[in-house]
Amino acid sequence: MDSIVVQGGGPLNGQIPIAGAKNACLTLMPATLLSEEPLTLTNAPRLSDIKTMTELLQSLGAEITSMQEGQVQAMSCHGTINTRAEYDIVRKMRASNLVLGPLLAREGVAEVSLPGGCAIGARPMDIHTDGLTLMGADIELRDGYLHAKAAGGRLKGAVIDFPFASVGATENIMMAATLAKGTTVINNAAREPEIVDLADCLRKMGAQIEGDGTSSITIQGVDRLNGATHPVVTDRIELGTYMLAPAICGGEVELLGGKLSLVGAFCEKLDAAGIDVTETDKGLMVKRRADDIKAVDVTTEPFPGFPTDLQAQMMALLCTANGTSVLEEKIFENRFMHAPELIRMGAEIDVSGGTATVTGVKKLKGAPVMATDLRASVSLILAGLAAEGETKVSRVYHLDRGYEHVVRKLEGVGAKIERVKD
């Protein structure tokens, strides 16, 4: 098992290229199940989760060729489709549940194991299955699998009112609705950039979709979809993560491919903390305005609010802020597991339910720490960059699910960081 060793100290300067969005790519890939024609994704991130989704789709009958060191995924699903998504693959990644809607839409039947992923909350499938049931699917849970069948072999349009703006459920229903008979309306839909990216791709494939990016999405079902080529949108979470590197360490870093529209609420908090973010011809430039970071309060919200996937990284910044910050987690329960590890580095953090109170300290101290999930792992690396001495982050296999070439990218701007075998 690998660890990442970080030597804290100096400022960071230079450029970091930002990859395509993991969460967008994992949503776009199952769309290949909706058509017998090829779907090609460019700007794909090179991550273990992408490999897992590839394995899952291949098990269902898709042909997938990875090109240009993984940045291009050429997919085709023209043959016989296997409609059972096995536990041994699905358990590795929660996004595996996104094959449920496309399988039902194309074949009228699906058997999908309940998914796995980071242990940061229940994230139940009920909102997915309730929406598909309204579209005419009969779904029951047996032996850990969702067994689904569309009445008459084809889903039908419906008006679906989500109890909350679930990203995954919005994506699943959108894909299912593209081939359903009639019109589907999703109310209280998620508004994330990944939703818009999926809609853009589906429209290229011939889907009729309106309202993406708003809370109400309308899909008029069609009889078939064609192939397409589509670039994956920039990863706003990787972008925000690397924006925090110069904010924590000092220096000036340009994030290539970054756009303010992807990280608006996040940039507002950085500005309040004393961090300048400016647009350039190539992306976003980030630097501190002063030596001290100001304390700010953060509440995670669905897009366009502050992303839950940047909460752990923001906490690392606020550990050395001047004053006391309050972080309120409203998306996922149990998402402060990084706090005890930051405390090992000298942070002053008090967690009570869904709220963490962070009192800034003058300096963090290097220590051996353990990653508990994907975003927590990178928050500990960021903290290590600013700490005195050496920080060793273990269980970094989490990191490989969401960040490509972390060591290479941070080394490129002057970080003292290496990956080692335990």
Tell me which of 125 and 329 has the higher pLDDT: 329
The fraction of the chain above a pLDDT of 70, given in percent, is 98
22 is in an annotated binding site: yes
The predicted pLDDT at position 17 comes to: 97
Does the pLDDT at position 120 exceed 70? no
The predicted pLDDT at position 334 comes to: 73
The predicted pLDDT at position 95 comes to: 87
Report yes or no: 308 and 335 within 8 Å, Cβ to Cβ.
Answer: yes
What sign results for the dihedral spanned by CA atoms 405, 408, 410, 413?
Answer: negative
The domain made up of 22-231 has a fold known as UDP-n-acetylglucosamine1-carboxyvinyl-transferase; Chain (3.65.10)
Mean pLDDT of 207-223: 98
Report residue 122's pLDDT band, with 50, 70 and 90 as the boundaries: very low
The predicted pLDDT at position 116 comes to: 53
Q: Identify the CA nearest to 303 among candidates 230, 212, 377, 222.
A: 212
Q: Which residues pair with 2 in a beta bridge?
A: 421
Q: Domains of the chain: which residue ranges?
A: 2-19+234-421, 22-231
CATH class in words for 2-19+234-421? alpha beta
2-19+234-421 with 22-231: one CATH topology?
Answer: yes
Q: Which residues pair with 186 in a beta bridge?
A: 160, 217
23 is in an annotated binding site: yes
Mean pLDDT of 336-349: 96
pLDDT in tens, 367-409: 999 998 888 899 999 999 999 999 999 999 888 888 999 999 9
Q: Identify the CA nearest to 170 among candidates 189, 157, 155.
A: 189
pLDDT in tens, 1-58: 899 999 998 899 999 999 999 999 999 999 999 999 999 999 999 999 999 999 999 9
Does the pLDDT at position 118 exceed 50? no
Q: What is the mean pLDDT of the chain?
A: 94
pTM of the model: 0.91
Sheet with 109-113, strands from edge to edge, namely 84-85, 109-113, 145-150, 137-142
88 by Cβ neighbours in 10 Å (0-12 / 13-18 / 19+) ranks as exposed
* Amino acid sitting at position 218: T
94 is in an annotated binding site: yes
Mean pLDDT of 73-90: 94
136 by Cβ neighbours in 10 Å (0-12 / 13-18 / 19+) ranks as buried
- What CA–CA distance (Å, rounded) separates 321 from 340? 18
Mean pLDDT of 417-422: 94
Does the pLDDT at position 155 exceed 70? yes
Give me the active site residues, please: 118
The predicted pLDDT at position 117 comes to: 44
Does the pLDDT at position 307 exceed 50? yes
Place of tokens 């990280």: 263
